Structure 1
Amino acid sequence: MRIQDCHDTDAPLFGEDDDNNRLRRSKIRHPLASFFHLFFRASAIVVYLLCDIFSSRFIVCMVTIILLLSCDFWTVKNVSGRLLVGLRWWNQVDEDGKSHWVFESRKTDNLNLTSSAESRIFWLGLIVCPIFWIIFVFSTIFSFKIKWLAVVIMGLVLQWANLYCYVRCKLGGKSNLRSIAKNYLGVQIFKEAMKKTQDL
């Protein structure tokens, strides 16, 4: 398996501030992509939570949730990631049967910069929803609703896959995520220390 690196990107991760952010418009330029980025994933969560209240048919609820999760996975992977933050990823198999994971990002010299509002929508939706599915996995296990376990695991896997791949794409295909997290934390501690010394 071979992983191709991402190019540098202008899309902010988790809404960090830099000089380029000031140049970006905070306006939402892709309202449909932003809407459907959140709609399918939020709908799957709402249907899961309200299924027992409105319907006693497990199969109907399960199929509805799986369809919503599938639509969400496809939309985030193929549409909203590319339009909202300029990132995309995919897997391809070459003639020798080797699998290649490709992580791409829009080049920084591209004049069509991403909107900071759209970037926040993208990353918040991408991060918050898998947290719900983690909670659902544990609540399903502890409440002994074993029939729902396959559904919540599928929700977690599909949404975690998009989150993981987009973070890899944003930070670089071959980057070690643990070392990046440590470096980011170190930079934040250094900034806080510098602010305190300037206040004195």
Structure 2
Amino acid sequence: MLRQDSNDETEDVSLFDADEETSRGSRRKKIRHPIASFFHLFFRVSAIIVYLLCELVFKSFIACMVTIILLLSCDFWAVKNITGRLLVGLRWWNQVDDDGKSHWVYESRKTGPGKKTTSEAESRIFWLGLISCPIVWVVFAFSALFSFNVKWLAVVIMGVTLQGANLYGYIKCKVGSRKNLTSIASSYLGSHLLKQTFSREAQAES
């Protein structure tokens, strides 16, 4: 796990309080956490459905707004604290120290050599739901803005903020600090250029 503060410094810190161990039989299953997979999509998809159908089903705007905000809040908590840890072995949070500095804290489950703690099916469900739903809320935001639907704009901004925060946190948790991402890109470009150089020399000699 990496801990990243406002100065983009990283250091090793303790991982999950208790590492979860799974049996060989459970590792072979495509979806080992069906309940977590269900609720990972349930709250966020339900919020989108309520937003689309609220004017047809509900007569009260307040009832629609409260229902959507509750669903979004449940989704934010569940994804941040439960489904990310179970489905992809990641967890994140942001904390402020006594000096007022903001710290990003990342956790990832330890894996032994040649061992997998997550399944591909659960990983796809997690990242598909995590990325696609914020995009939908961004579309809703532009639609409400261009149609001058001001009363729904606050609800849509809430959806973009809550789901966008989880997306941002897990992307940072996945790729690490910006410094690490830059070094990965630099090493990839360097190896690519080196490979091209050797291929050109080989063609010239032939």
- TM-score, length of structure 2 as denominator length: 0.74
Return the match for 2:122 from 110, 118, 124.
118
Q: Deviations over 1:83-139 (max 9, x none)?
A: 000000012233444332101212232856111100000000000001100110011
Q: Deviations over 1:120-175 (max 9, x none)?
A: 00000000001100110011011111000000011001111101110110111344
Q: How does 1:28-177 map to 2 (within 5 A)?
A: 28-109=31-112, 111=115, 113-175=117-179
CA distance in structure 1 between the partners assigned to 2:57 and 2:174 by the alignment: 40
CA distance in structure 2 between the partners assigned to 1:4 and 1:35 by the alignment: 36
Higher RCO structure, 1 or 2 (CA under 8 Å, sep 6+): 1
| Structure 2 unmatched runs, 5+ | 13-26, 197-206
Q: Provide the secondary structure at the position in 2 that maps to 1:133.
A: helix
Contact kept, 8 Å, 1:6 with 1:104, in 2: the verdict is: no
| Amino acid corresponding to residue 136 of structure 1 in structure 2 | F
Deviates more, 1:101-110 or 1:148-157: 101-110
| Amino acid corresponding to residue 140 of structure 1 in structure 2 | A
CA distance in structure 2 between the partners assigned to 1:26 and 1:6 by the alignment: 34
- TM-score, length of structure 1 as denominator length: 0.76
Corresponding residue for residue 30 of structure 2: 27
RMSD between superposed Cα atoms in Å: 2.9
Larger radius of gyration: 2
| Structure 1 unmatched runs, 5+ | 8-23, 194-200
| Cα distance, 1:185–1:117 mapped onto 2, change above 3 Å | farther
CA distance in structure 2 between the partners assigned to 1:119 and 1:72 by the alignment: 17
Q: Deviations over 1:50-106 (max 9, x none)?
A: 001111211000000000000000000000000000000012233444332101212
| Cα distance, 1:76–1:175 mapped onto 2, change above 3 Å | farther
